[in-house]
């Protein structure tokens, strides 16, 4: 196993990179949230239109099946948007955990440098 050597400057550099990545992920999450909202709206709209079109024909189960078949693309788009959104949220959690770990490492590194009286250039 290779140990990575950390200095206060290296930790700071890694923290900045991680902050940038979190910022871009936050923006992507917002886009994914909007995509999910739009897909949910499109699904509800298509579902409602098909129900109105069918009226009271057939049994409830038959109508539900016909509505689902008629809105299959919308269901698929909603499912894809939902998975994309959830994956983005999970990735942000991973980034937050990385940030926390790196902050802990940074604290330890600063203490070690301070204890031996080393000033980094």
Write the pLDDT tens digit of every residue in 80-112.
999 999 999 999 999 999 999 999 999 999 888
Q: How many other C-beta atoms lie within 10 A of the C-beta of residue 66?
A: 16
Distance CA(106)–CA(4), nearest Å, equals 13
Joined tokens for residue 12:
């700071």
pLDDT attached to residue 93: 97
What are the backbone dihedrals phi and psi of residue 120, each rounded to the nearest 5 degrees, phi first? -75, 140
DSSP SS3 for 81: helix
3-state SS class at 92: helix
Q: What is the pLDDT of residues 36-90, one digit of tens each?
A: 999 999 999 999 999 999 888 889 999 999 999 999 999 999 999 999 999 999 9
Residue 1 has what pLDDT? 44
3-state secondary structure 48-68: HHHHHHHCCCCCHHHHHHHHH
The residue assigned the tokens 């990575």 is 4
Q: Considering the entire predicted model, what is its pTM?
A: 0.77
Main-chain dihedrals φ then ψ at residue 57, nearest 5 degrees: -70, 140
């Amino acid at each position: 196993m290779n140990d990575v050597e950390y200095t206060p400057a290296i930790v700071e550099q890694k923290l900045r990179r991680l902050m940038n990545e979190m910022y871009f992920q936050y923006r992507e999450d917002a886009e994914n949230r909007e995509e999910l909202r739009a897909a949910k709206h499109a699904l509800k709209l298509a579902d409602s239109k098909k129900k109105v079109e069918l009226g009271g024909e057939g049994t409830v189960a038959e109508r539900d099946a016909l509505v689902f078949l008629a809105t299959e693309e919308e269901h698929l788009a909603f499912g894809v948007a939902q998975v994309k959104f959830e994956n983005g949220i999970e990735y942000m959690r991973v980034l937050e955990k990385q940030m926390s770990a790196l902050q802990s490492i940074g604290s330890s590194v600063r203490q070690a440098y301070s204890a031996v009286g080393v000033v980094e250039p």
